[in-house]
Amino acid sequence: MLTYNTTTGALLHRYYYAPDWHGSTVLLSDETANVTSFHYGAYGESQDPATGNPFRYTGRRLDAETGLYYYRARYYSTSLGRFLQTDPIGSKDDLNLYAYVKDDPVNNTDPQGTESTVNEDEMAKRNQRTRVKPQGSICSRLGGTACSGHYSAGIAGVMAGIGSQLGDAGAARADYKAAVGQLDPTDSAGRIALKAATREATPPLVRGVIEAARHDLGPQAGTGGTANSSNPGWNAAGKALHYGGNAMVVGGLAMDAYAISRAQNPYRELAGRSGALLFGTLGGLGGAIGGTAVAPGLGTIGGGIAGASGGSYFGGSWGYGLYDAVNDQ
C-alpha cells in the first residue's frame, strides 16, 4: 500500500502486508523494515490499537471510530460476532440473516458480506496435518475422526435411536387398546395373553420402566375387573410416546438431511450420519437392556440414553473414518 501527501502528491510511505489464509493482516512492514504485528480472536476480536493500518481482519477495512469492519455489502461487529444488517441475498447462505460465516470463522470467510466461502487448498493442507495423531490416542483408534467435533451427528443419532423406541412403544400400546376392546368382558385369560404379547413387542427402553412400575399382568386397578377395558392413563401415555417418539425421529432425520445438503462433501457426511444413526439405535436398545438388568426403571432410562449417546458418537466417528479410509482422505 502506498500513501501520498494530499497537497503535493509526493509518495510518503510504502507498506507491505503479510496476510494469513483468511486474508487477515498479521504483519505490516514499511520501507525501512519496521514491522508491526496484529492479533485476532476467532471472530476478529483484537486488543491492537484501532488507529493506523485500516486493513485488518480478513483484509477488510476497519472503521477506527466505530470499531466496525466494512464488508462491502454490510458492516460486521467483532464484539458481537455477527453482521449488523441482514444478508442482502436472503437465507441462501444461512437461515440466520445476521450470522457471520455460518458461525464457523475458523474455516470460512465472507469477503463480500453476502456468502461464506472456504479456502479448499488450505483446508486440504490442514486436514493432512491433523490426520497425523499420536499412536494410541483416541483419535487414532477411531480412525482419526473422534476429535473432529461431529456432535451434530451424535445428537441426531440419539434423537432417532431413543425416539424410535418411544414411538414403537406407543404404537404397541395403541394396538393393545384396540385388541382389548374386542374381547369378551369375562375373557381375563385373553387379556393377560394380549398384555404379555404387548410387552414383548414393546422396546426395552419403555418395557423396563413398565415392568419396574407394574410387573404383573392382571387387571389394573380402576378397570372394574372387566377384560375388555384398558387404563385411560396408560393409553394417554402411550399416545404421547407414539407422537413424541416419532417427532424425535423426524427431527433427527431432518437434522441429518439438512447437514448433508449443506456439507462440502455430502457423501462423507452421509457415511458419518448413517453410522451415528445405526449405532445410536443399537446402542439405545443394548443400553436399555443392560440398564434394566442392573436397576429396572431408572437404570433402564439411564442405560438407554447412555447407550444411544455412546453408540451414536462411536458410529459417527466410525462412519467418517471408514469413508476417509476408503477414499484415502
Residue spans per domain, the chain: 1-110, 151-313
pLDDT in tens, 19-35: 998 999 999 999 888 99
Quickly state the pLDDT bin for 260 (edges 50, 70, 90).
Answer: confident
Q: Name the E strands within the chain.
A: 2-4, 11-19, 25-30, 35-37, 61-63, 68-70, 75-77, 82-83, 108-109, 117-118
Average pLDDT, rounded, for the chain:
84
pLDDT in tens, 297-317: 888 888 889 988 888 888 888
Res 246 pLDDT > 70: yes
Res 144 pLDDT > 50: no
Rounded to 5°, angle at Cα 145 from 142 and 146: 65
Angle between helices 151-180 and 232-262 (to 10 degrees): 150
Q: When comparing pLDDT for 257 and 135, which is higher?
A: 257
In this predicted structure, what is the pLDDT of residue 329?
53
- Amino acid identity at 212: A
In this predicted structure, what is the pLDDT of residue 129?
53
Highest mean pLDDT among 75-84, 130-139, 251-260, 273-282: 75-84
> Which of 143-157, 158-172, 204-218 is predicted least confidently?
143-157
In this predicted structure, what is the pLDDT of residue 43?
95
Nearest CA among 31, 19, 116, 22 for reference residue 73: 116
The CA distances from residue 174 to 43, 198, 262, in Å, are: 52, 10, 38
Count of CB atoms within 10 A of residue 219's CB?
Answer: 18
pLDDT in tens, 50-88: 888 999 999 999 999 999 999 999 999 999 999 999 999
pLDDT in tens, 113-141: 999 988 766 666 666 654 444 444 444 44
In this predicted structure, what is the pLDDT of residue 143?
41
